[in-house]
């Protein structure tokens, strides 16, 4: 391979009104190199990647592409050079199909049918199968991530930037993606890889640059490090750990799901089939499963976004709430953290204080129908402080924060209300290791105070770390519950394929009535 660097950054600087996002950053990426960029949420990683991709303009510094100085005008210019980027926050049009979204970034494809055929072939080749005709709004987060990744792979880039690409992928999909990335690197493609999953960094990346507070603070060969040493380089101190001390609490049932069945609202969704489980005060119940197996539909039914026909199929504190809307369920003691941060968890155009009002207004922020903005500001300040949210102030628009800091604020906003029942989806998606431990510890503390917590996550390590019991969802069916101490990741992994008692795999293997009658006819004959 060429000894000329594929990409060189010299003195890259980007200054915003409230923060220096990048401060004189130097970096060199060689052809075929998989280079990690490590740092806490808000360290400046995503800003730097966006500067390379032409989304933001650096205030100072120089970019050299294959040894030649270049000014990258915009993402279209970056793509022409051979630079592709998978964003942490998806940049997809929800009302368009998978094919139409990918076509927007592709040149030379006037025939959508031929592009759809190529999408199908390439997605299966890389182990990330997608239906090209499916509308993006109907896709769960994990499948939207696939669209982003495939959109880049179809452009055959010379430099691929990946910002938290495995946040919502299953372990099997991650393995397949790593095979793809290694193959791309062997063919000469350079890869800039951002991830807070340090085991991935050590397994995949050849080298790493560590950024803290917008500055380069060190370099490392990940294979020669440990997760602990890399984490310490990132946060500048010892990694906090979660306390597993648990008082014995025999709390009442705060959430009951009773024979919940619900047809999917669109043709690409997953029907829910006679789902039953409960969560008591003083425990954390985890739901494991591969993305797209009914998690989205179940959460919509639990949150009240899509009320269910049978009012008794969902209860909060033993009260039927199946017909109630989200606000009415919150009034009965529920908190909710959706998997989509912006749009469902927060309003992009509003400040942190105003986003606090959205769900916490019932906590002293309204008096005789008038909002008390000083109370909202105080609540937001406490949330920023307690959950280590990196921002300029409570008045910053929430979109000025990094993805991980948005997640910390939204999760903190719900936990700070001390709900009786907290339902959380993907609690540490895209969050750095230090912040992830803060969020997990906060959920453990809330449980220890007597609340009931339901966690939906595709991170098995996370579920085994914080949960008391686990169930699995597959094709709209849920498994029996298992105590975490009585199971293993291997068993849960098998169950995720539907191979649990009463699961879809077992049902498919059972003969149907028509099969029985056919066999009887053959026997008589």
**In-domain check, residue 242:** no
pLDDT tens-digit map of 349-406: 899 999 999 999 999 999 988 999 999 999 999 999 999 898 889 999 999 888 788 9
Q: With cut-offs at 50, 70 and 90, classify the pLDDT of residue 143.
A: confident
Task: Decide if pLDDT at 263 tops 50.
Answer: yes
- As a whole number of Å, the end-to-end CA separation of the chain is 71
Q: Rounded distance, CA 2 to CA 267, Å?
A: 50
Instruction: Kindly state whether residues 76 and 191 are assigned to the same domain.
Output: yes
Instruction: Kindly state whether residues 229 and 257 are assigned to the same domain.
Output: no
Edge-to-edge order in the sheet of strand 253-262: 272-280, 253-262, 314-316, 319-320
Q: With cut-offs at 50, 70 and 90, classify the pLDDT of residue 281.
A: very high
Residues contacting 16, CB < 8 A, separation 6+: 400
**Residue 296 phi/psi, 5° resolution?**
-60, -45
**In-domain check, residue 92:** yes
Q: Rounded distance, CA 137 to CA 131, Å?
A: 13
Q: Rounded distance, CA 518 to CA 391, Å?
A: 68
Instruction: Kindly state whether residues 268 and 327 are assigned to the same domain.
Output: yes
C-alpha 183: how far from chain center: 25
94 or 142: whose pLDDT is higher? Answer: 94
Q: Quick one: which H or E segment has residue 287?
A: strand 283-288
Domain end marker among 184, 209, 235: 235
Q: With cut-offs at 50, 70 and 90, classify the pLDDT of residue 519.
A: very low
Instruction: Kindly state whether residues 270 and 289 are assigned to the same domain.
Output: yes
Q: Find which of 143-152, 179-188, 468-477 is predicted with most confidence, using mean pLDDT.
A: 468-477
Tell me how many domains the chain contains.
3
Instruction: Kindly state whether residues 414 and 437 are assigned to the same domain.
Output: no
Percent of the chain predicted with pLDDT > 70: 93
Instruction: Kindly state whether residues 209 and 293 are assigned to the same domain.
Output: no
Range of the domain at 373: 345-418
Residues contacting 108, CB < 8 A, separation 6+: none
CATH code (residue 431): 3.40.50.300
DSSP annotation of 273: E
Q: Rounded distance, CA 167 to CA 88, Å?
A: 9
Question: What does R_g of the chain's alpha carbons equal in angstroms?
Answer: 24
Domain end marker among 418, 448, 478: 418
Domain end marker among 395, 418, 441: 418
Strand 334-337 versus strand 421-425 pairing type = parallel
**In-domain check, residue 243:** no
Strand 215-220 versus strand 60-65 pairing type = unpaired
**In-domain check, residue 340:** no
C-alpha 420: how far from chain center: 25
DSSP annotation of 342: B
Sign of the dihedral defined by the CA atoms of residues 359, 365, 370, 371, in that order? negative
Closest by Cα among 135, 228, 262, 268 to 437? 228
pLDDT tens-digit map of 309-359: 999 999 999 999 999 999 999 999 999 999 888 888 999 989 999 999 999
**In-domain check, residue 240:** no
Total number of residues shown for the chain: 525
Instruction: Kindly state whether residues 324 and 295 are assigned to the same domain.
Output: yes
Q: Tell me, what's the pLDDT at 514?
A: 43
Q: Tell me, what's the pLDDT at 517?
A: 42
């Amino acid at each position: 391979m060429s000894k000329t660097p594929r990409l060189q950054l010299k003195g890259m600087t980007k200054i915003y009104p409230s923060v220096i996002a990048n401060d004189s950053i130097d970096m060199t990426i060689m052809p075929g190199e998989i280079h990690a960029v490590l740092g806490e949420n808000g360290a400046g990683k995503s800003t730097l990647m966006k500067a390379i991709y032409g989304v933001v303009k650096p205030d100072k510094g120089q970019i050299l592409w294959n040894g030649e100085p270049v000014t990258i005008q915009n993402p279209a210019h970056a793509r022409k050079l051979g630079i592709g980027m998978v964003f942490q926050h998806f940049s997809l049009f929800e009302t368009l199909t998978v094919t139409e979204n990918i076509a927007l970034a592709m040149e030379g494809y006037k025939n959508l049918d031929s592009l759809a055929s190529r999408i199908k072939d390439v997605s299966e080749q890389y182990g990330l199968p997608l239906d090209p005709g499916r509308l993006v709004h109907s896709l769960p987060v994990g499948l939207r991530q696939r669209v982003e990744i495939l959109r880049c792979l179809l452009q055959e880039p010379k430099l691929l930037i990946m910002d938290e690409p495995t946040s919502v992928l299953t372990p099997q999909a991650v393995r397949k993606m790593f095979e793809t990335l290694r193959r791309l690197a062997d063919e000469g493609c350079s890869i800039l890889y951002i991830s807070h999953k340090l085991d991935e960094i050590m397994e995949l990346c050849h080298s790493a640059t560590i950024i803290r507070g917008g500055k380069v603070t060190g370099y490392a060969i990940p294979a020669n490090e440990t997760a602990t040493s890399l984490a310490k380089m990132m946060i500048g101190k010892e990694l906090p750990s979660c306390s597993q001390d648990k008082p014995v609490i025999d709390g009442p049932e705060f959430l009951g799901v009773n024979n919940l069945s619900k047809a999917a609202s669109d043709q690409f969704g997953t029907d829910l089939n006679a789902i039953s489980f409960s969560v008591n005060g003083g425990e954390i119940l985890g739901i494991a499963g591969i993305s797209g197996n009914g998690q989205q539909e179940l959460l919509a039914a639990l949150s009240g976004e899509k009320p269910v026909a049978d009012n008794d199929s969902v209860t909060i504190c033993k009260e039927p709430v199946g017909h109630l809307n989200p606000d009415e369920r919150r009034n009965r003691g529920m908190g909710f953290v959706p998997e989509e941060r912006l749009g469902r968890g927060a309003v992009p155009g509003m400040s942190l204080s105003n986003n606090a009002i959205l769900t916490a207004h019932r906590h002293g922020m309204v008096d005789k129908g008038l909002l008390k903005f000083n109370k909202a500001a105080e609540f937001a300040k406490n949330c920023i402080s307690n959950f280590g949210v990196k921002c300029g102030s409570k008045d910053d628009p929430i979109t000025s924060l990094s993805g991980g800091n948005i997640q910390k604020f939204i999760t903190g906003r719900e936990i700070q209300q001390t709900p009786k029942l907290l339902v959380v989806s993907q609690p540490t998606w895209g969050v750095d290791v230090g912040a992830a431990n803060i969020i997990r510890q906060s959920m453990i503390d809330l449980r220890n105070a007597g609340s009931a917590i339901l966690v939906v996550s595709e991170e098995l390590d996370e579920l085994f770390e914080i949960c008391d019991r686990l169930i699995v969802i597959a094709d709209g069916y849920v498994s029996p519950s298992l105590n975490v101490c009585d199971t293993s990741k291997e068993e849960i992994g098998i169950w995720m394929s539907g191979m649990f008692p009463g699961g879809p795999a077992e049902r498919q293997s059972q003969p149907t009535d028509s099969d029985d009658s056919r066999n009887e006819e053959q026997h008589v004959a």
